[in-house]
Amino acid sequence: MNKRGKFLAFVAFAAIIVLFLTGCASVFHAVNVRVDDRNNLTTVRPGGTLQLRASGRDIVWTVSSTSDGSGRVDSGTYVANGMLIVAPTETSLVLHVTATSSRDGFSSVLQVRVVTVTGITVTPADLVVVIGRTLQFRSQVNGTNHPDQIVNWSVSSNENNTGAVTPGTSINANGLLTVAANESSPILYVTSTSVVDSEKSSTVPITVAVPTISHITVNSDSQSVRAGETLQFRSVVTGNYEPDTAVTWRVGTNAFGSGAVTPGTSIDANGLLTIANNESLSNLFVVATSVMDPTKSASVSVSVIIPIITNITISPVNHIAEAGTIVQMNATVWGVNNPSTAITWRVSSNAAGTGAVAPGTNINTNGQLSISAAETSRVLYVFATSVFDPTKMESVIVIVIPDSEL
Q: What is the CATH number of the domain that holds 389?
A: 2.60.40.60
> In this structure, are 8 and 51 located in the same domain?
no
> In this structure, are 205 and 121 located in the same domain?
yes
Check if the beta carbon of residue 249 is closer than 8 Å to that of residue 257: no
The number of distinct structural domains making up the chain is: 5
CA dist 382 and 321 (Å) reads: 13
> In this structure, are 18 and 37 located in the same domain?
no
> In this structure, are 313 and 367 located in the same domain?
yes
Report cis status (omega within 30 of 0) of the bond before 167: no
Report cis status (omega within 30 of 0) of the bond before 124: yes
Q: How many CB atoms lie within 10 A of CB 303?
A: 13
> What pLDDT sits at residue 34?
84
Residue 283 CB partners (closer than 8 Å, separation 6+): 253, 301, 302, 303, 304
Looking at 181, 209, 237, the residue that finishes a domain is 209
> What pLDDT sits at residue 77?
97
C-alpha distances in Å from residue 274, one per residue of 3, 18, 283, 299: 114, 96, 14, 17
> What pLDDT sits at residue 15?
44
Nearest to 109 by CA among 71, 145, 146: 71
> In this structure, are 291 and 361 located in the same domain?
no
Q: How far apart are the first and last CA of the chain?
A: 141
> In this structure, are 228 and 273 located in the same domain?
yes
Q: Return the HEC string of the chain.
A: CCHHHHHHHHHHHHHHHHHHHHHHHHHHHCCEEEECCCCCCCEECCCCEEEEEEECCCEEEEEECCCCCCCCCCCCCEEECCEEECCCCCCCCEEEEEEEECCCCCEEEEEEEECEEEEEEEECCCEEEECCCEEECEEEEEEECCCCCCEEEEEECCCCCCCCCCCCCEECCCCEEECCCCCCCCEEEEEEEECCCCCCEEEEEEEEECCEEEEEEEEECCCEEECCCEEEEEEEEEEECCCCCCEEEEEECCCCCCCCCCCCCEECCCCEEECCCCCCCCEEEEEEEECCCCCCEEEEEEEEECCEEEEEEEECCCEEEECCCEEECEEEEEEECCCCCCEEEEEECCCCCCCCCCCCCEECCCCEEECCCCCCCCEEEEEEEECCCCCCEEEEEEEEECHHHC
CA dist 274 and 226 (Å) reads: 10
> What pLDDT sits at residue 4?
55
> In this structure, are 135 and 171 located in the same domain?
yes
> What pLDDT sits at residue 11?
45
Looking at 256, 271, 305, the residue that finishes a domain is 305
CATH code of 228's domain: 2.60.40.10
> In this structure, are 153 and 131 located in the same domain?
yes
Looking at 97, 114, 131, the residue that finishes a domain is 114
CATH code of 155's domain: 2.60.40.1080
> In this structure, are 200 and 174 located in the same domain?
yes
> Per-residue confidence of the chain (406 residues) as pLDDT tens digits?
555 555 455 544 444 444 444 444 444 457 788 887 677 788 999 999 999 999 888 899 999 999 999 999 999 999 998 999 999 999 999 999 999 998 888 999 999 999 999 999 999 876 899 999 999 999 999 999 999 999 999 999 999 999 999 999 999 999 999 999 999 999 999 999 999 999 999 999 999 999 999 999 999 989 999 998 999 999 999 999 989 999 999 999 999 888 999 999 999 999 999 999 889 899 999 999 999 999 999 999 999 998 899 999 999 998 999 999 999 999 999 999 888 899 999 999 999 999 999 999 999 999 999 999 999 999 999 999 999 889 999 999 999 998 766 5
> What pLDDT sits at residue 404?
63
> In this structure, are 301 and 314 located in the same domain?
no
What domain range includes position 4?
Answer: 1-26
C-alpha distances in Å from residue 82, one per residue of 64, 78, 192: 15, 10, 29
